Amino acid sequence: MRRVLVAALALMLLTVVVASATAAPGRRDAVRQPSARVQAAGSGLITVAGRLTVNGLIPGRGVVVVRDWKGDAKAFLAGDSLELRRGRATRVRRASGVLYVTGSQITVTIIGNDLSFSIAGSGRARFDGDGVYTVDSEPESEWDGEWIRIAPPSSSPQRRSAPECANCSSSAAPQR
């Protein structure tokens, strides 16, 4: 059962990647921000906050709350656009179907059974109930109600102030 859920989550994440690759030309010129990927499956409560794209399935009846803090978010539930107002919560009771939300500063809460979601970006998340989640390529974790950080793996650029060998430094190049 978990393998099926993980495969479904991977497919949803692929949908997000393809959608972002086919974005309008103006968006392609924007500076890319590093992001992390989270996949979660289970029953209970999912809350995410940050610069994120959220994509997943609510198979039965659930509750969705979306808050757009900057006014640039877009949200769709079962193919229908949700009306979002900056700083205000948009609530959908009896939510069902595919949920897609993206924005630079959003908070999304989903409550339901057999949820299956992919999240990409940076921020934080909380999974409370019965389920599992993975962050990037880390091991699978159980939902425990604690906040986790959604951030890309730290990879700070190495400084060249102290080269390890003479051939690594531009000062080792022959002078003319």
CA-CA distance, 34 to 109, in Å (whole number)? 23
Residue 80 has pLDDT above 90, yes or no: yes
Question: Between the CA of residue 138 and those of 15, 74, 148, 163, what are the distances in Å?
Answer: 21, 29, 13, 32
Rounded (to 5) percent helix, strand, coil in the chain: 15, 55, 30
Q: Which domains does the chain have, with CATH numbers?
A: 2-25+34-142 (2.60.120)
Q: What is the pLDDT of residue 66?
A: 97
Q: What is the mean pLDDT of the chain?
A: 81
- Band the pLDDT of 68: cuts 50, 70, 90: very high
Overall average pLDDT of the 8-14 stretch: 51
Cβ atoms 121, 35 nearer than 8 A: yes
Task: Output the pTM of the full model.
Answer: 0.71
Q: What is the pLDDT of residue 78?
A: 95
Residue 20 has pLDDT above 80, yes or no: no
Query: 124 versus 172: which is more confidently predicted?
Result: 124
Q: What is the pLDDT of residue 31?
A: 57
Q: What is the pLDDT of residues 23-67, one digit of tens each?
A: 444 444 455 567 899 999 999 999 999 999 999 999 999 999 999
User: Look-up: residue for tokens 């039965």?
Assistant: 60
Q: What is the pLDDT of residues 130-148, one digit of tens each?
A: 999 999 989 999 999 999 9
